[in-house]
Amino acid sequence: MASTPQHWDAAYAQGDTTRGWYQTEARASMGMLRDSGVGPGSSLIDIGGGASVLVDDLLDAGFDDITVLDHSAVGLDIARARLGERRDQVAWIVNDLLTWTPPRTFDVWHDRAVLHFLLDADEQHRYVEVLRAATHPGSIAIIGAFGPTGPEMCSGLPVQRYGVPALDALLGSNFSRITSRDDVHVKPDGSTQDYLWWAGRRTA
């Protein structure tokens, strides 16, 4: 199995609220934004946002420059339908992150659970290239990935688990870490997944 649009379209088609990633509110993401000093005047791109409720929470908090990118059109359609008329306040991009050329830069790059699906060094290097292209000096990168005690598989796909030193090494030539934290995500079935959240400010 591979992390393809077809894989994620099929996963979302089974019902977003029953899937392991589902959360009723983006608690960890919003907490990392606050801890990083990010306010509603910042532009933000949510990488691999799919049907995530982060966009709802951002709109509720007053953010007005929000972009959501995902290669699953089905996932984005779920989010748009949920938002109703508010969907027009958000820019939606259906594209593969690793082949995407950002048309602009953002103050905040947010990624919950994309990086850990990139298993080889070339993919990880390309991720950092796109991250650099989509940000500017002073931008904040917030990344949520499975931590050292997280699962080895998710949604039928293998994942790469991360500790703070590994994220520092991957991003450290471009970003200076602001904060990190461990977090436990409770899945709809009551089981848990251990996440590591990392935030850094772009220095060059």
Chain Cα centroid distance, residue 59? 17
Separation of alpha carbons 120 and 187, rounded Å: 27
Domain ranges of the chain: 5-202
Separation of alpha carbons 181 and 119, rounded Å: 22
**Selection from 82, 126, 81, 124 nearest residue 102 by Cα:** 126
Q: What's the confidence (pLDDT) of residue 18?
A: 65
Spell out the alpha helix ranges (H) of the chain: 5-13, 27-35, 54-60, 73-83, 121-133, 164-171
Cα angle 49, 53, 59; round to 5: 100
Q: What's the confidence (pLDDT) of residue 87?
A: 98
- Architecture per CATH, 5-202: 3-Layer(aba) Sandwich (3.40)
Residues 6+ away with beta carbon under 8 Å from 140: 36, 37, 38, 42, 107, 108, 109, 178, 199, 200, 201, 202
Chain Cα centroid distance, residue 137? 20
Q: What is the bridge-based pairing of β-strands 66-70 and 153-154? A: unpaired
What does the pLDDT profile of the chain (204 residues) look like in tens digits? 667 777 667 777 777 766 656 688 899 999 999 999 999 999 999 999 999 999 999 999 999 999 999 999 999 999 999 999 999 999 999 999 999 999 999 999 999 989 999 999 999 999 999 999 999 999 999 999 999 999 898 888 899 999 999 999 999 889 999 999 999 978 778 788 899 999 999 998
Q: What's the confidence (pLDDT) of residue 149?
A: 94
Chain Cα centroid distance, residue 81? 20
